[in-house]
């Protein structure tokens, strides 16, 4: 991605995040309580992702339905994956039947996104430009190469592209926000320090990209949240040469599994590793062995959306902690569900209300 395209996309992200987070906060504080924060944040990140990349304004109902379908689909796909039975996804098990229904609904949503890009001449994003290009036209745009030069081929491939995007973009930021709000609700001293910084740097409105450099403690809170609950909780790599690891001989071509979840809780690397302590990432405390912190994986196959996810977290969390009062609606601690990412198992119910001294729209009351 060249520099101008990246800057344009980040500007779109900041605009969509500011507008939709403010709208989401206003709606949720006017509604019933408690709220399943895991589903609410994912519905919000879904709307932000679709608006940023495709100019599509997903309704609250569309976003909520997608979240339900996504979670059920991921559970079913992971079940087939972990059981390791060849062809099991084609067998008429109950979870596979539900998976088919969920995937059909997601396909319909992706079709709406593509149709919107096709018919709206005012849209100026890569998908819209490629879909509107004449038959046979080629360009240097990677998306054009992916979807093909023939108009007849582009639509189906575009729908598949949007589905792949939906499978990747909204989940990691929403997981981190869910875990972050839970941790902050359990650590009022951290929340107080975070709010003091946000109130000073960002008393009203949504953060701009230029504001993020001044939200230093916010960054530490996000880094510590991702240490305890990394989205990429486990991944594999194939060795390119033989070696010795912790006294074990590892041959060339071996499949090695790496678990950031366990790595980030190794007391040799992280003193008191179960403690939520954003000060670990303060200036002067950041020296640690290479490879000890891998919330988005590492190497050439690191999560391709790492910058997008980090920006979205830094844009959303300040607004949520400034404008919302939140507390757990259950005494039961949430349990992680290690699927393809580390999400909350079942639900994460929280009481949400407009924070005293600030309005849901991010403007302090008088």
What is the pLDDT, as a whole number, of residue 259? 95
Model confidence, pTM? 0.90
Answer whether residue 87 shows pLDDT above 80.
no
The percent of residues above 90 in pLDDT, for the chain, comes to: 63
Span 139-164, average pLDDT: 78
The distance in angstroms from the start CA to the end CA of the chain is 45
* Tokens, residue 148: 């093909």
Which residues touch 340 (CB under 8 Å, ≥6 apart)? 74, 77, 78
pLDDT tens digits for 230-240? 998 999 889 99
DSSP 339: S
Span 116-133, average pLDDT: 85
What is the pLDDT, as a whole number, of residue 136? 60
What is the pLDDT, as a whole number, of residue 366? 27
List the domains of the chain with CATH numbers: 3-232+264-354 (1.10.630.10)
What is the pLDDT, as a whole number, of residue 364? 37
Span 126-145, average pLDDT: 73
Answer whether residue 61 shows pLDDT above 90.
yes
What is the residue-averaged pLDDT of the chain?
A: 89
Distance CA 249, CA 357 (A): 60
What is the pLDDT, as a whole number, of residue 153? 75
143 within 8 A of 127, measured Cβ to Cβ: yes
The percent of residues above 70 in pLDDT, for the chain, comes to: 92
314 within 8 A of 207, measured Cβ to Cβ: yes
Distance CA 197, CA 16 (A): 23
DSSP string, 236-296: EEE-SS-EEETTEEE-TT-EEEE-HHHHTT-TTTSSSTTS--GGGGSTT-----TTS--BT
Locate tokens 């990140």: which residue? Answer: 45
| Backbone φ/ψ region at 291: left (φ over 0), alpha (ψ -120 to 50), beta | left
Better-predicted residue by pLDDT, 270 or 139: 270
pLDDT tens digits for 271-330? 999 999 999 999 877 678 888 999 998 877 777 788 899 999 999 999 999 999 999 999
327 within 8 A of 351, measured Cβ to Cβ: yes
Better-predicted residue by pLDDT, 287 or 60: 60
Span 345-364, average pLDDT: 74
CB burial string 132-170: b at 16+ within 10 A, e below: bbeeeeeeeeebbeebebeeeebbebbbebbbebbebbb
Answer whether residue 359 shows pLDDT above 60.
no
What is the pLDDT, as a whole number, of residue 170? 93
Determine how β-strand 248-250 pairs with β-strand 324-328.
unpaired
Q: Write down the H helix ranges in the chain.
A: 3-30, 37-54, 60-83, 94-119, 126-132, 142-147, 151-168, 171-186, 188-201, 216-228, 260-263, 306-323
What is the pLDDT, as a whole number, of residue 220? 97
* Tokens, residue 229: 């609950």
- The closest alpha carbon to 45, from 203, 231, 259, belongs to 231
What is the pLDDT, as a whole number, of residue 363? 42
pLDDT tens digits for 318-353? 999 999 999 999 989 999 999 989 999 989 999 999
Answer whether residue 362 shows pLDDT above 60.
no
pLDDT tens digits for 207-265? 989 999 999 999 999 999 999 999 989 998 899 999 998 899 999 999 999 999 999 99
What is the pLDDT, as a whole number, of residue 138? 59
Which residues touch 364 (CB under 8 Å, ≥6 apart)? 203, 204, 357, 358
What is the pLDDT, as a whole number, of residue 286? 65
Distance CA 123, CA 53 (A): 11
159 within 8 A of 114, measured Cβ to Cβ: yes
Better-predicted residue by pLDDT, 28 or 127: 28
Cis before 34 (ω within 30): yes
């Amino acid at each position: 991605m060249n520099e101008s395209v990246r800057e344009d996309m980040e500007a779109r992200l900041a605009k969509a995040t500011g507008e939709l987070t403010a709208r989401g906060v206003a709606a949720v504080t006017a509604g019933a309580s408690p709220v399943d924060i895991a589903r609410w944040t994912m519905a919000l990140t879904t709307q932000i992702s679709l608006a940023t990349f495709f100019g599509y304004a997903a309704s609250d109902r569309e976003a909520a339905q997608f979240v339900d379908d996504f979670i059920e689909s991921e559970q079913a796909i992971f079940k087939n994956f972990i059981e390791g039975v060849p062809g099991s996804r084609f067998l008429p098990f109950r979870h596979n039947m539900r998976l088919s229904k969920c995937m059909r609904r997601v396909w319909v949503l992706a079709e709406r996104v593509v149709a919107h890009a096709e018919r709206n001449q005012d849209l100026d994003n890569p998908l819209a430009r490629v879909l509107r290009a004449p038959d046979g036209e080629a360009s240097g745009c990677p998306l054009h190469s992916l979807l093909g030069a023939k108009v007849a081929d582009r639509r189906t491939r575009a729908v598949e592209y949007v589905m792949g995007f939906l499978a990747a973009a909204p989940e990691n930021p929403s997981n981190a926000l869910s875990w972050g709000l839970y941790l902050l609700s359990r650590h009022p001293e951290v929340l107080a320090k975070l709010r003091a910084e946000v109130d000073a740097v960002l008393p009203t409105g949504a953060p701009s990209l230029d504001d993020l450099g001044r939200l230093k403690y916010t960054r530490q809170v996000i880094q510590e949240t991702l240490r305890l609950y990394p989205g990429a909780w486990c991944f594999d790599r194939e060795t390119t040469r033989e070696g010795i690891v912790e006294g074990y001989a590892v041959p060339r071509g071996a499949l090695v599994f790496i678990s950031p979840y366990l790595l980030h809780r190794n007391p040799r690397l992280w003193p008191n590793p179960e403690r939520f302590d954003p000060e670990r990432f303060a200036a002067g405390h950041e020296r640690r062995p290479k490879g000890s912190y891998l919330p988005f994986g590492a190497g050439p196959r690191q999560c391709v959306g790492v910058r997008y996810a980090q920006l979205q977290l830094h844009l959303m969390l300040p607004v949520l902690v400034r404008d919302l009062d939140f507390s757990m609606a259950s005494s039961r601690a949430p349990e992680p569900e290690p699927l393809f990412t580390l999400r909350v198992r079942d639900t994460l119910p929280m009481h949400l209300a407009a924070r005293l001294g600030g309005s849901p729209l991010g403007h302090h009351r008088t």
